[in-house]
Amino acid sequence: MSNELMEYNRLLRFKNYSLSTIKTYTNYFEMFLDHFKGKETNILSKNEIMDFLLKESEKGFSAAYQNQLVNSIKFYYEKVLGRQKEFYNLPRAKKQFKLPVVFSEEEIVQLFDQIDNFKHKCILYLIYSAGLRIIEAANMKIADIDSTRNLIVIKGAKGKKDRNTLLSQTLLEMLRHYYKLYQPKEYLFEGETGGQYSVKSIQNIFNKALASSGIKKEATVHSLRHSFATHLLERGTDLRYIQELLGHESSKTTEIYTHITKKGMDKIASPLDNLDIQ
């Protein structure tokens, strides 16, 4: 690793960026350095940087890739070198608007019915009942279940923020039984040899249940979180509370569920149904 890259990576860690962001930015900046191998990157002209970004944008990569590439380069010049903010006249790729995949309440029951292993069932029940991200479930510790206040405490969630979410009474009874059976030491869900349960293992549990359920949706574990929010909205929970439970910084992020909910749709008839046709 070059001195330039080491300094770049060190500052990312010093500024307490998430591990995934550190890895992404470092990889993209290394690609940037390779492109300009033999040149002093600290004296590159704006036009040279623009040419590089334009060539990358023409490769047809996703909006997220293009935006993170720009941000990784800006981090180098603005944070590592301490220069003023620079606006590259490169149109940022717009993220494609996709509605998240959501299960109906009947499909949730159908999905969970496929799981025989009690521990596995507790994991997916936890994610759905509390609207968790998969990494939040994997990081969950025994002490994070606050049965006296009927809350689950999510520590160090996305954005390095703590939050509280719902503790289902159904889940609580399951967890009490689960604790007696498995006696975890620190993490709520632990592997056979100890330590926290892996994200990959949780994904495998979900994928196996989905495959055997017969549900034909391109869903992931995250679809349980989307379903949690949508079902709360359909049952009349205020969007502001859902935002807090999910840990969304912006209300606009939570508002996507208003595009999915079937609430009110059952009162609207298709114009075809009003025609006197056979």
Is 128 found in the same domain as 60?
Answer: no
Residue 89 belongs to some domain of the structure: no
222 as an active site residue: the answer is yes
248 as an active site residue: the answer is yes
Range of the domain at 176: 105-259
Q: What is the pLDDT of residue 117?
A: 97
Question: Annotated catalytic residue: which of 74, 119, 155, 158?
Answer: 158
Interval 251-272 mean pLDDT? 79
φ, ψ for residue 103, nearest 5 deg: -90, 150
Query: What are the tens digits of pLDDT across the range 199-248?
Result: 999 999 999 999 999 999 999 999 999 999 999 999 999 999 999 999 99
225 as an active site residue: the answer is yes
Higher-pLDDT residue of 136, 273:
136
133 as an active site residue: the answer is yes
Is 11 found in the same domain as 71?
Answer: yes
Is 144 found in the same domain as 182?
Answer: yes
The percent of residues in the chain predicted with pLDDT above 90, rounded, is 63
Question: Residue 19: which pLDDT band, with cuts at 50, 70 and 90?
Answer: confident
Is 182 found in the same domain as 70?
Answer: no
Residue 99 belongs to some domain of the structure: no
Is 139 found in the same domain as 25?
Answer: no
Residue 239 belongs to some domain of the structure: yes
Higher-pLDDT residue of 20, 224:
224
158 as an active site residue: the answer is yes
177 as an active site residue: the answer is no
Question: Annotated catalytic residue: which of 119, 141, 222, 263?
Answer: 222
Query: What are the tens digits of pLDDT across the range 141-151?
Result: 999 999 999 99
Question: Residue 85: which pLDDT band, with cuts at 50, 70 and 90?
Answer: confident
Q: What is the CATH number of the domain that holds 41?
A: 1.10.150.130
Question: Across the chain, what does the average pLDDT equal?
Answer: 89
Exposed, middle or buried: residue 275 (CB in 10 Å: 0-12, 13-18, 19+)?
exposed
Per-residue pLDDT at 92 exceeds 60:
no
Is 54 found in the same domain as 130?
Answer: no
Residue 86 belongs to some domain of the structure: no
Question: Residue 91: which pLDDT band, with cuts at 50, 70 and 90?
Answer: low
Is 117 found in the same domain as 24?
Answer: no
Per-residue pLDDT at 132 exceeds 90:
yes
Question: Annotated catalytic residue: which of 25, 121, 125, 133?
Answer: 133
**pTM, 2 dp:** 0.70
